[in-house]
Amino acid sequence: MNDGRADQDGYLIDPLTLSRPADDIEPIEVAVGAGAVWEHHDVPQLVVREMTRSEFDEWRNSAISAFADEQIAAGTWAAEEAAGLAVQDNAVLLPDGFATTGMLFLRGVLPDGTPIGVVWIGLTHPRGKPDCAFIYDIEIDEGHRGAGHGRALLAAAEDTVRAHGVGSVELNVFGDNPRAIGLYASSGYRVVTQQMRKVLD
C-alpha cells in the first residue's frame, strides 16, 4: 500500500500515473486448466485465474479499508470520514459489484494452490482515455513479497489487457513508493501525469 508522507520541504507527492502501450508487452501466457500459467526468464511461475465470488467479497472489503487508510496517510481525507468515502468511491466504480461490466478481478496463485495476490483491471479508463485500460489495484500478500511475484502478476495483467484488444494500460502509484515505481519503470511504464502538493503552515 502507498501513503503520501511529506518530503523535507513539506511537499506531498501524490500518485504518479504511469502508462505502457500494450504492443510493448511481451506475451508469456501458457494456458493450463482453469487458469493460466505465466512464465518468463525473470519472473517466477504463477497461476492467474478469475476470482471466485467469495474471494471477491473478501477482497473488496479489505481493499476498501486499505484505500481509506491510504487516503488518510496522504492527507486527502479526514480519518473520521475516510471509511464512508471509501465505500462510496468503490460503489461508484463497481455499481454491480462482481458483475460490473468491463471490470476483471484476477487472483495470483502459486502452482501448489497457495493464493498470493490480486489484481483489479478496468478495461476502460476512468477518465475516458481511449484504448486504455486501468489497473485499479495490484497487490502481493505481505509474506510473498520480494520474490518476483509482483512482476509476474503485472505481466499477467498486461497480457489480459492485450487479450481483450486494448492498446495500453495505466496505473497510479504514490511518489514515495520507490520500490513500486522501480518495478513499473523496469516493466516499461512511463510517467504521463504527476501531481505535487505542499502543506502550508
**Block mean pLDDT (10 aa), the chain, length 201:** 38 48 41 41 73 94 91 89 94 96 94 91 94 93 87 91 93 82 88 83 79
Instruction: Count the helices and strands in the chain (H runs, E runs).
Output: 4, 9
Note whether residue 5 is domain-resident: no
CB atoms within 10 A of CB 181: 17
Residue 134 within any structural domain of the chain: yes
Q: CA of 127: how far to CAs of 29, 93, 95, in Å?
A: 29, 12, 17
Angle between helices 149-163 and 178-186 (to 10 degrees): 50
Q: Which residues pair with 29 in a beta bridge?
A: 38
d(CA 51, CA 116): 12
The answer to whether the CB of 51 falls within 8 A of the CB of 139 is no
Domain count, the chain: 1
- Check residue 18 and give its pLDDT: 56
- Residue 161 maps to a domain: yes
Handedness of CA 130, 35, 94, 86 (dihedral sign): negative
In a domain, 19, yes or no: yes
Query: Is residue 119 included in any domain, yes or no?
Result: yes
What are the distances in angstroms from CA 181 to CA 15, 18, 26, 87, 165? Answer: 10, 9, 20, 27, 26
Q: Domain range holding 137?
A: 11-54+98-198
pLDDT computed for residue 10 by the predictor: 38
Sheet of 11-21, strand order: 29-32, 35-40, 43-50, 103-109, 115-122, 133-140, 168-173, 11-21, 190-198
Determine, yes or no, domain membership for 180: yes
Query: Which CATH number does the domain housing residue 134 bear?
Result: 3.40.630.30
